[in-house]
Amino acid sequence: MRKNFLKILYLLFSGRYLQLLIAGIFLSLLSNLVAMLVLGFSGWLITSTAIAGFSGITKFTFDIITPSAVIRFLAIARTISRYAERYVTHNATLSVLSDLREALFRGWAAPNSSKVLAKRPARILFRLTSDIDILDTLYLRGLVPMVVAISSSFILGVGLFYFSPLFGILIFLFIISMGFGLSFISAFNSFKPCRRRAYAMEALRARIIDFVIGKKDIVMSGRLDLHNKIICSAESRLAHANSHLNKIETYLIFGFGAVSTAFISIILLKFESLVQENSFNISKIVFFIFITLVAIDPFMALKRGILDLGYILLAIRRISPRLTSAPLGRCFQEPSIFGLAVQLSDVCVRHEENPKAVFSCLSLEIKKGEHVALLGCNGSGKSTLLSVISREISLEKGIALSINSTLLPQRSELFLGNLRDNLQLAAPTVSDAALYQVLADIGLNIKELPYGLDTKLGEGGIGLSGGQLKRVALARLLLQDTPMWLLDEPTEGIDSSTAQDIIDRILYYVKDRTLVIATHIRRDALMADHVVLIGKGSISDHYYRGEPEFEVALSNLKFH
């Protein structure tokens, strides 16, 4: 845990926003210092004016203009410094969290991560959102108020040191020990309920998402009451954890209030003796009492960070491994032999949940511009082989070299949003004119859609037919314009006429690209001039067009 915490701190403060983060701390300290001065001088002026008013001669000579001008200046300075502090600290925090979220997303996009994402999508969504968001507390409600609290206490101690050195030192130590002592006790007591709240919130969100997605099946199968109980159970645990944390927060606020009262009482008692010795006047007493109130405020700002400490540490533990190993992207190392698009040597692949290897010592070479069909029964490893070529999974051993490629999986993911957004995932800067052209190239009649590129799509592409989904996926393939296409069951689940039209367009636009198709359908395999048979974890045979075995291999496939 300590190692993960230090790594997160390093990522937070070692990037391009380091100066902005430090500036935010400095502005927070400046804002609090100005607040101490404006409140202290205001109390001093009111008290001094009242004393002068009771005297006979002083009221005519007392200068009220200069102190009033100073207070107005400090009030304006406080407003400006407060705005600057909020702007800089929040801008720095949001910028850092944006980079962390991107790093975490890249970490989950690493090889072998897709199956983990598929198993627990709601949980991973929670990691990408809430676990990152809570880290703003580490800076805004943790580090910043802690530095300001120590600095303000030190400034107050220095002020009191001028009149009584021992008293100034004792007051500084008293504030620090009591403030951080209460904080430590509250953090210790809130650690477990805070973690329970995080788990309950995650469970509640996941169960509600599952219910919303599968509500039709749940109602039709008569499991509505069961799911309601499951959701209510998570909500009950969340409410119980929140109640526990609210009690701790109440005790903490009461504790800070009691410490503040005791602190002011101690100062009043000390100042009473100074007044009796004629070494201190009442105006100065009021000045120090008022700045004392402001000096304790940063500990109250630290309250939220204290109560969320358990969740912060949990989030750090969960996201740190992915953040620290975040890849920069897929790195394609081209084959060492000239003219090859793919070169696999003694490749061994094993899925995490399966002790049996998918491939053992598999070797394969594909030439540039060649059209290859990977044939085999279900579960033989066709899709896995495409994932090896596209760098989507890691190898247990062996060498996999290939040119840059684009993978068209069996299920192409479309996201909630409009058609333009989904297409621009492949090419973020592409113009609308280019999008219209590529849609026309793949045979998707944009006039069939109600709002053109602004047509709203539901999650998973709801609103489009199966054929339209395939065409949108093919459009994204064209937009990426890579030298090799990897197609996994490109016409599975669509009618014959639509499938044939898609095949014709693929053959037209593939041109001199390398094409690798994983299929068990004859019409898809006809695009290839080289078939590779996969079985029992290795390549059993391969044939070229024109050889008798090539036609025999195709005859064993389904027609649609």
pLDDT of residue 71: 87
List C-alpha distances in Å: 524 to 51, 372, 507, 527.
Answer: 97, 11, 11, 6
Q: Which of 71-85, 324-338, 423-437 has the highest mean pLDDT?
A: 71-85
Q: Looking at residue 326, what is its pLDDT?
A: 47
Options 3.40.50.10170, 1.20.1560.10, 3.40.190.10, 1.10.1740.10; CATH of 2-324: 1.20.1560.10
Residue 505 to residue 441: CA distance in whole angstroms: 8
- pLDDT tier at 435 (50, 70, 90 boundaries)? confident
What was the pLDDT predicted at 56? 57
Whole-number Å distance between alpha carbons of 258 and 296 = 12
Per-chain mean pLDDT for the chain: 81
Q: Which of 340, 369, 372, 374 is nearest to 359 (CA)?
A: 374
The SS3 of residue 531 is strand
Residue 324 has pLDDT above 60, yes or no: no
The answer to whether 458 and 413 have CB atoms below 8 angstroms apart is: no
Q: DSSP letter for 143, please.
A: I
Question: What pLDDT is attached to residue 59?
Answer: 54
pLDDT interval class at 551 (50, 70, 90) = confident
Question: Is the overall model pTM greater than 0.75, yes or no?
Answer: no
Name the residue with tokens 């037919």: 465
**Rounded mean pLDDT of 84-113?**
81
How does pLDDT run across 244-278, given as a tens digit for each residue? Answer: 999 998 998 898 888 888 888 888 887 777 666 66
Closest of 191, 180, 133, 145 to residue 302, by C-alpha: 145
> What's the mean pLDDT in 1-16?
64
Phi and psi dihedrals of 325, rounded to 5? Answer: -115, 25
Helix axes 65-108, 18-54, angle to 10 degrees: 160
Question: What 3 state SS string does 96-142 have?
Answer: HHHHHHHHHHHHHCCCCCHHHHHHCHHHHHHHHCHHHHCCHHHHHHH
48-52, 173-177, 205-209, 252-256: the lowest-pLDDT one: 48-52
Q: What is the pLDDT of residue 60?
A: 55
- Weakest mean pLDDT among 225-229, 249-253, 254-258, 443-447: 443-447
Which phi-psi region, left, alpha or beta, contains residue 452 (left: φ > 0; alpha: ψ -120 to 50)? Answer: left
Which pair of tokens denotes residue 270?
A: 């000390």
pLDDT for position 404: 87
Q: Is the pLDDT of residue 14 over 70?
A: no
In this predicted structure, the answer to whether residue 346 has a pLDDT above a threshold of 60 is yes
Question: Given 3-state DSSP classes, what are the helix, strand and coil percentages for the chain, each rounded to the nearest 5?
Answer: 65, 10, 25
Q: Hey, what's the torsion of the CAs at 315, 321, 325, 329, to 10 degrees?
A: -60
Rg for the chain (alpha carbons), in Å?
34
Query: Residue 269 class from Cβ within 10 Å (0-12 exposed, 13-18 middle, 19+ buried)?
Result: exposed
Condensed to tens digits (0 to 9), the pLDDT of residues 109-153 reads: 766 666 666 667 667 777 777 888 888 888 888 888 889 989 888
Residues making up the chain, counted from first to last: 560
Q: Pairing between strand 538-544 and 530-535?
A: antiparallel
Whole-angstrom distance, CA of residue 482 vs CA of residue 403: 9
Look up the CATH number of domain 340-555. Answer: 3.40.50.300
pLDDT at 240: 93
Burial 361-398 (b: 16+ CB within 10 A, else e): ebebebebbbbbbbbbeeebbbbbbbbbbbbbbebeeb
Question: Among the listed ranges 8-17, 137-146, 310-319, which one has the minimum average pLDDT value?
Answer: 8-17
Stretch 208-223: mean pLDDT? 82
Whole-angstrom distance, CA of residue 186 vs CA of residue 217: 45
Tell me what the mean pLDDT of segment 360-368 comes to: 85
Same fold, 2-324 and 340-555: no
Domain ranges of the chain: 2-324, 340-555
CA atoms of 269 and 76, how far apart (whole Å): 34
Burial of residue 162 (CB within 10 Å: 0-12, 13-18, 19+) is exposed
